Copies of this chain bind each other. A is one copy, B any other.
C-alpha cells in the first residue's frame, strides 16, 4: 500500500493510493491515522470496502508531507558502508544520531528558502515511519513495528552545522527537510534487499546509493534508539545519506537560488524542491 496526506478542495486528508487516485481515510493526515490504535483495521476496511465514486482523481490531489506531526524525528549520520569505506574510514560500532523537529519537515514539492545560510547542501535519505510503540525492542520486534518507508532530504546548512561540534543547529531549520511523497508499507519495499537512493541537482545526478549497504538497517536503528527513548506511532527515523554531498566535492558545491533538487527512491517516489535563497544576514 501507498499512503499519503493530500490536499483536495482546500481540505487535508489521509489517503490510500488506488488506481486513478486517492481514497480518503478517516484522519486529517497520516500522523493522526497512526495515532489511532486501530489504524491497521481502518486501512484494511478501506482497502476492502472502497468503491470508485469515493476516489479523488490524482489530478485533483496535492501530495503533502505525509507524516507532519511526529513527536520525534531522529536521524542517523555516516551509515552507508560503501561511502565510509571509500573515504578510508572504519565502519562505526554505533550509529551517530541527532534530532530534528516536526517543524523541520516540509512538503514533497515545497519551495525551500533561507536567508540565513550560505552553504546549503543536500542529503538524500530513506526515512522510516514507526507504526507501534517500541521500548527496549529487539531488532525483530522493531522490524514488525515499521509502518512504512518514505523519502527525505536532510537538507543541511553546513555553515551552521560546522559552527560548533554539534550538527543539530545546521539540521533543524524550519521547513528545510522535504518528506514524502507517500509512505509505502513494508510488504511492498525491502530496504535490506536494496532500494536505490538518488539525488539530482538541476537534472545532474549527484548522489546514488543503495540501502542494502546501510551499516545500521532500519530495524537495527529503531531497536537501538528504543533502548534509550520510547518510539511511538508516527515517529520518524532518517537512515543517513550515501556519498555525493556538495560539502565532499572539490571544490565544494552548495545550493544556489533557483536550483532544482530531486530526491528519488524508486518504489517509493520523488521529492522535487526548488530553492529560493536570499543574501544571508549575519547572525
**A97 contacts B228, C-beta separation under 8 Å:** no
**B96 contacts A230, C-beta separation under 8 Å:** no
A-side interface residues, number (CB < 8 Å): 34
Residue of B nearest to A165 (CB): B96
Contact with B along A167-191 (1 / 0, CB 8 A): 1110011100000000000000000
**A166 contacts B103, C-beta separation under 8 Å:** no
**A104 contacts B172, C-beta separation under 8 Å:** no
**B164 contacts A97, C-beta separation under 8 Å:** yes
**A116 contacts B169, C-beta separation under 8 Å:** no
| A98 interface contact, C-beta 8 A | yes
**B173 contacts A229, C-beta separation under 8 Å:** yes
The distance in angstroms between the C-alpha atoms of A165 and B101, with both chains bound, is 20
Which A residues between 28 and 77 are near B, CB-CB below 8 angstroms?
71-72, 77
| A283 interface contact, C-beta 8 A | yes
**B99 contacts A164, C-beta separation under 8 Å:** no
Given contacts A104-B229, A173-B229, A174-B228, contact A164 B116 (CB under 8 A): no
> Which chain A residues have a beta carbon within 8 Å of chain B's beta carbons?
71-72, 77, 92-99, 101-104, 116, 157, 160, 163-169, 172-174, 224, 227-230, 283
Q: Can you list 8 A-B contacts with CB-CB less than 8 angstroms, sorted by A residue number? A: A98-B98, A98-B99, A98-B166, A166-B166, A166-B167, A166-B168, A172-B228, A173-B229
